[in-house]
Each structure stands twice: as C-alpha cells, then as structure tokens.
Amino acid sequence: MTTLKQILGTELPLIQAPMAGIQGSAMAIAVSNAGGLGSLPCAMLSPDAMRSELAAIRAGTGKSYNVNFFCHTPPEPSAEREATWRAALAPYYAEFGIDAAGIPTGPGRNPFSAEVANLLAEFRPPVVSFHFGLPSEALLAQVRSWGSKVLASATTVEEAVWLEAHGADAVIAQGLEAGGHRGHFLSHDLTKQLGTFALLPQVVRAVKLPVIAAGGIADANGVAAAIALGAAGVQIGTAYMLTPEATTSAIHRAALKSEAARHTALTNLFTGRPARGIVNRVMRELGPIGSAAPEFPLATSGIAPLRAKAEAQGSGDFSPLWSGQNATGCREVSSAEVTQALAEGFPASL
C-alpha cells in the first residue's frame, strides 16, 4: 500500500493545517523545509494574492507543499435573512456608532472554482486539500490531471466513506476538538460529529485510504496517541498559531496565551458556518450558534465593522478567535521548531 509519506511527498507524515486568515506562504515554506507538509490556505485570497503566495512558495522551498480550498456552493443572498442579521447586531452598531446602511453585503470566503483551477494549473502543486467536501467531478479531474494528490476533511464515518468513493487519496478525520471551521458536508447536524479519539478508529476501520488525524493534537504525545489509534499521519493547526511565521493578530495571540483559551465553542456568528473559537463577548451575548446569522459565508460582512471598531480599541469582543480545544501546544518558537517537536511522537517505523 502507498504510504502517506509517499502520497504527501514528505519526510514526515505531518501536515501543518491550512489556516485561512492567520498564515500564508511563510509558514508553509518553513514547515515544508522542516520535513512536514506546509499548507497555503486560499479561502480568503484574491487570485492575484494566490498567485504571488504560490510563487513565494516555489521560490522558498523545493519540497512538497499543499494548497487548500473551501468548496462550498455560494448561497443565494436573502434580503430577509440579512435584515434579521442586521437587526440582531443593531445594538452593537449603535454602541460603536456604526452606520448600518453603509455596510456592504457580500461574501467573506471564496470557493474553489474554474478560475482558481486555471490559476493553479500554472503551479501544479503536489498536494491539494479541500474543506466542506470536494469540488465538482470536472474540477477534481482537472486537479488530478496535474498529478496533484487530493486530501479532504471528514467529520463523520459517512463523510470519510464518501470521500474515498469520490476520489480522495487520503482522508483527514477532523475531530470535534479542532480549531476553525468544521469540515462537514453531508449533514449539518452537529450532534453527529465526534471527538478525535472516537472518530479516528471508526474511520480507520471504515476506509482503506490512509487516515490523517486532526483536532486537539498539541504535542508529541498527542501525535503518538493518534498513531496508536491507527492514524497514518496528523494535521495540526492551533499549535502553530503563535509562531513568528503566523500572521495571528496581537489580540488573538493574547487570547491564545491566556486562560480564556480553555473555553472554546462552535459558533456560526462570524461566517455563518460552525467554527471553533475562544468564547468572547458576542458569542456569549448572542449565543455561540444562532439562527440570525445568514448562510456561510454571508454572515461575515455584517459583523466585520464591529470587529474592526473593537479591535481598534484593543478588544477581541467581536473577533473570530479561532482555536482548537487544546491550545497548550502553542509556543512562541519557529514553525520549524514546532514541527520538529511534534515529529518526536512518530515511531521510527513510520
């Protein structure tokens, strides 16, 4: 059987999780050069930014790397839902003196598309990973035609089986502990989602593909535990968030370093889709999951001016403070050092 390291083209079966908004090419280059698989998240990049980030990776490393995309179907904007959302946020607009009429509507995250695939064709990345399922068969065929290996997140056994049947080369089992957006795509029922230690062995049993464990892995012992449960490798995000290569804001860094990081929750308030972040004022006051937020990614624009105003005052009350449930692995050392420390958890045989 092809090993995960062969699929990834790396020395280590370790993927630095793509983290849109808090890292770019610098972290990807550092991790790839340290023997792991560095990732470039593209969900928040314009085509021009994507091209320059990909060029930077090509200039910065000769090693394998991963390029990551969301593949949601953009929803039809609904004036009614937008009005409900604005009404829920109205007291905060008033508090900060924001003119709600001046806030633009619009998307906050871009899905994989034909335009993006054509741009990516110039680079033929060794690995492409997807969150929220897979793109259309035609787009996936295009990605595969360059020889790129395909990874995608599964949050349930059913999703892992689906990904295997639809052309993934390996499956990322994303446990409920994971920071950032949940990758679910077959069911939006959050009660179906499992913690890493429950999900991982069940996925390993259900598919033949190599399984990559993600969610709550913060140190070498966590890596070893995931391998003991049958993972072929790991994907780790939160532990990289304080590195100098991360673009994590000062407010976000302070939250990750504080006791507040012990309390995270899934929330749809920042984008419209459940994602895990450190509990803050808006999550407490509106409830972390609310029906007022419009569909992903349309909630983003309504809350963005509140975030900007609060952050200008040094507050993360309206910021998405993404974090997994285990932030104890966050250290202010280089991404290469984080990679090397995590790699201690792999048995010599892997």
Q: Which residues bind ligand FMN (CB under 6 A)?
A: 17-20, 22, 41, 43, 68, 131, 153, 174, 177-181, 214-217, 235-238, 322, 324, 326
**Smallest gap, in angstroms, from Cβ of residue 303 to ligand FMN?**
17
Is the bond preceding 297 in cis, omega lying within 30 degrees of 0? yes
Q: Which is nearer to ligand FMN, 103 or 269 (CB)?
A: 269
Q: Which is nearer to ligand FMN, 21 or 305 (CB)?
A: 21
Residues 6 or more apart whose Cβ sits within 8 Å of residue 138: none
**Smallest gap, in angstroms, from Cβ of residue 154 to ligand FMN?**
11
Rounded distance, CA 296 to CA 135, Å? Answer: 17
With 0-12 / 13-18 / 19 or more C-beta atoms within 10 angstroms meaning exposed / middle / buried, residue 113 is: middle
Q: What share of the chain is helix, strand, coil (3-state, %, to 5)?
A: 40, 15, 45
**Smallest gap, in angstroms, from Cβ of residue 206 to ligand FMN?**
19
Q: Which is nearer to ligand FMN, 302 or 324 (CB)?
A: 324
Q: Which pair of tokens denotes residue 225?
A: 């535990």
| Residues 248 and 256: beta-carbon distance below 8 Å | yes
| Mutual angle of helices 114-121 and 47-60, in 10-degree steps | 30
Q: Which is nearer to ligand FMN, 88 or 343 (CB)?
A: 343
**Smallest gap, in angstroms, from Cβ of residue 102 to ligand FMN?**
29
**Smallest gap, in angstroms, from Cβ of residue 6 to ligand FMN?**
22
Q: Which is nearer to ligand FMN, 173 or 282 (CB)?
A: 173
Q: Rounding to the nearest 10 degrees, give the CA dihedral for residues 214, 215, 220, 224.
A: -60
